Structure 1
């Protein structure tokens, strides 16, 4: 990242690298959406075409999207109705009652719902069934569960449950991880850097834009004692950004969502 900033003795000074040993490092970056902001006049003029006044872009016609039906056809993406039906079929009351989500509530953490591939003998058939793969993470059993639902028959055809498999975290998990980091002693640097960037106290994940990625513990190299359960536990690291503002580097911190603890990589 360009134009990095780092904290030194209570001050923010220019630096060529992110300071990972002290507090979370505050970084000013140029985002993709910012590119060309200062020089947008020439682009607007080019987009306007010959004969258009400089800086004036001719309005374009916006075509209304066609109405979505309740059921897709063939290899169409899943409709909203199909997604809702697949998720309901994949998580009946008995399954929900035996599982927990990232906040400890009844029911597993729902991750993804995607159109399933056809079998070799079904490819090209006009009456091929539509199936959905619905994936969950169950924090009670520490299991990654995938269910294949036949939307044509309304039956769950296959259930696959694995331990030690860690798919990317969803938005709710990333925000929960940010909340745990903010509240933990290890989050002091993040809180200080947010205060420095905004002049306000950081009290919750809603003040940040966060993206989570999985940390698998010893599978990624030597892991501190506090983080050795990661891989079996659900652990994430975060890219953290002030909303509409600067990045704050929190990549050295690992949030164990299963144990609800925070550790730090050396």
Structure 2
């Protein structure tokens, strides 16, 4: 590479990193983002308060781990994740991912971003990275809110895993962080789908709705035994695979299969988003 090419590449790299930090800063300063995170935090709080008021008697009904909350407050975080994974987390991620490009277009700022030194492909990468960061923060918010309210309302102690092994509080909380990473990976395919839908329209609500509806459709199809052959290809198929992280020893098979599946969705819908966005008429 010549010296002139090097000098040209450096500002583009700098612009890409600057754009990423700007995207994260804008995303996590928005009132809407904080409202979405507050709604997620409210889920474990409501679960804990309801169990506290009722004394924890569920007669075997309700989400997994619900009966164990009164004995150990750490199970609030586990229960909240079981509740949030199928609906609340995909809903919030759909809102953020669907707004990535369409939101800029609706505000009239997209044309200024695409003429920046970062370029269109880097802009897409930055938008996707921002949505992925939200996935991680959202999962951590559910876990942290559940752990805090669980510690306030219930006793905290060693946790009995699904395999029957008893682990310390520190080990149990570490397992919760592992689960947060698993859930984050699980939502990366949905992020790519939302990014693609966002390149198709200038109306953010349309991209958000399409992303959320597709997540619901995927889960419905995953429940139909007649479509067993299709199940391993659905991006939501391994969403509850984090139960393997609650065994001793930890089984990493679900994590590997889930990561490979999400990588496939990222590759397909990422390529579609790049193809659509790089040919889209934005400046006219």
TM-score range, shorter chain: under 0.3
Which one has the bigger strand percentage? 1
TM-score where L is the length of structure 2: 0.22
Which one has the bigger helix percentage? 2
Greater RCO (CA < 8 Å, at least 6 residues apart): 2
Q: Which has the larger radius of gyration?
A: 1
